[in-house]
Amino acid sequence: MPIFEYQCGECGHVTEFLERRDSSAGHECEKCHGRNMSRVMSVFSASMDGKSISKGGGSCSSCNSGNCSSCHK
């Protein structure tokens, strides 16, 4: 089963869920317990020699920031 990322419409927190592509299950935010979750585009991420490499949507998978230098030095 693939992993999908959902963003909470109430607090903005992004959570990963393991589910089938055709699943219609409702999800709950692990941070604020809100039920207004929307599937977001996942980004490719890899690690080499302790340095993070991201490619895709432009946001960091760890801190959800557009500037990865804020948490990956």
- Say which residues have a Cβ less than 8 Å from residue 52's Cβ, sequence separation at least 6: 45, 46, 60, 62, 68, 72
d(CA 23, CA 44): 22
Name the nearest CA neighbour of 25 among 43, 40, 37, 10. 37
pTM: 0.55
Q: Dump pLDDT digits (tens) for 10-51.
A: 999 999 988 887 777 789 999 999 999 998 987 766 667 666
d(CA 9, CA 20): 22
